Structure 1
């Protein structure tokens, strides 16, 4: 089935995803700051082990967010070079399905990380 999609619609979706990735970056920054406070305290060894564990997870989350943001920017750039109307077979340009699936996984993994982190922080307070 062929679908005609305006590049502006696709651009809006990409921009929305970029905003979401930036929000994740900010959340990660705040979580790392909270971990730093614990790391500077005289917390027990077990707590410090968990702090290191979350530091590693947050570092990786930041790396994934940076990769995702870069790929979204590249997709937007490719899209801006397209003709006014993009015709495709059930998926937009830039391999939209792949980007959409990656965003779903990105969102799911971040929500799991955030839930684990909040559980850890609640148990330490």
Structure 2
């Protein structure tokens, strides 16, 4: 089944995802600052091991956010270079479906990380 989609609709969705990725970047920055405070304290060794564990997870989350943001920018460029309407077979151009799936996974993994982090912060403070 063919569907016609306006590039502006696709661009709006991509811009929304870019905003979400930027929000995740900011949250990761705040989480790292909180970990830094614990790392500077004289916490027990097992707490410091957990701090290191979360530092690594947050570092990886930031890397994934940066990669995702870059790919979203590239996807937006491809869409803006297209004609006024885009005809597709249930799959918008520029691997939009792939980006949508990646964003779902990105969101799910960040929610899990945030829950784990908040549980750690509550249990250690």
TM-score norm. by structure 2 comes to 0.99
Q: Match of 2:117?
A: 117
Q: CA RMSD in A?
A: 0.4
Q: Match of 1:53?
A: 53
Deviations 1:57-112 (A, max 9, x none): 00000000000000000000111100000000001111111110000000000000
Residue 104 (structure 1) aligned with residue 107 (structure 2): no
Q: Match of 1:27?
A: 27
Displaced runs of 4+ in structure 1, greater than 3 A? none
Q: Match of 2:42?
A: 42
**Secondary structure at 2:77's aligned position in 1?**
helix
**Secondary structure at 1:12's aligned position in 2?**
helix
Structure 1, 63-72 or 93-102: larger mean CA deviation = 93-102
C-alpha separation between the residues in 1 aligned to 2:97 and 2:71? 14
Name stretches of at least 5 consecutive residues in structure 1 with no aligned partner: none
**Secondary structure at 1:90's aligned position in 2?**
coil
Q: Match of 2:64?
A: 64
Name stretches of at least 5 consecutive residues in structure 2 with no aligned partner: none
**How many aligned positions are there?**
125
C-alpha separation between the residues in 2 aligned to 1:78 and 1:90? 18
Residue 89 (structure 1) aligned with residue 81 (structure 2): no
